[in-house]
Amino acid sequence: MKRIIFATGNEGKLKEIKVILEEPGVEVISMKEAGIEADIEENGTTFEENAVIKARAVAAKTGKIVLADDSGLEIDYLGGEPGVYSARYAGEDTPYTVKNQLLLDRLAGVEKERRTARFVCVIAAVLPDGEVITTRGTIEGYIGFAPAGENGFGYDPIFYVPEYECSTAQLSMEQKNALSHRGKALRAMKEKLQEYLEA
Ligand code: IMP
């Protein structure tokens, strides 16, 4: 059994990641399940920098393949905010019902055409020999006029996709994974890792 450690404490992300990366002989485990504790300061200014910082910090404590992701929501009308600060936006411990309402308030009166936004995800892998690989995925959409849906996590209730004219919190996990930034970045990573996983 090949074990990949995913450097995240976010259960929502871990669930999505397992569905895409796991296959017979390959198991994805969280840092916690691997017994690794790391207090990582995400002080990069790009998604790429932060993903590599997280993966390197955990890789320093194990000889296994370590993956980490960094992701966020970019809203064009707000100049790309909250961007790399998505998790910390309005305070790390502030509930997403509040964060989402805050963003909706900042877009009050802005018409649909100017509410364009995207989720971005960068996955970084650190291999046992120290080599670093990154992949990036995005999903284009717009900020809706009210939150909707119970699935997913974070900003999903306010992020709408034109393919379905509903929020990503209204999609099943399979539908979201097929379209999402994380799904795209992970599938690209899975392909790049194939030779290491088969070895
Ligand atoms: P990270 O853990 O530093 O990558 O934080 C990314 C933050 O961006 C998350 O905590 C969410 O707020 C937001 N985010 C990233 N991907 C998604 C998604 O698929 N749905 C909803 N929010 C997301």
- CA triplet 102, 70, 150: central angle to 5 degrees? 50
Chain centroid to CA 37: 20
Please tell me the predicted confidence (pLDDT) of residue 13: 83
CATH of the domain at 169: 3.90.950.10
Q: What pLDDT, on the 0 to 100 scale, is given for residue 87? A: 94
3-state secondary structure 54-71: HHHHHHCCCCCEEEEEEE
pLDDT of residue 141: 98
Identify the pLDDT of residue 70.
95
Sequence letter at residue 177: N
Report the number of distinct structural domains present in the chain: 1
CB atoms under 10 Å from CB of 51, counted, come to 28
Q: Name which residue sits closest to atom 13 of ligand 1, judged by CA.
A: 72
pLDDT at 195: 81
Residue 199 has a pLDDT of 65
Q: In which residue ranges of the chain is pLDDT below 50?
A: none
Task: Please report, for residues 42, 54, 91, the alpha-carbon distance to residue 39 in angstroms, rounded to integers and kept in the order given.
Answer: 10, 9, 18
6 closest CA partner among 61, 48, 67: 67
Q: How far is the CA of 2 from the centre of ligand 1 (A)?
A: 27
Task: Give the domain range for residue 7.
Answer: 2-198
Residue nearest to atom 5 of ligand 1 (CA): 87
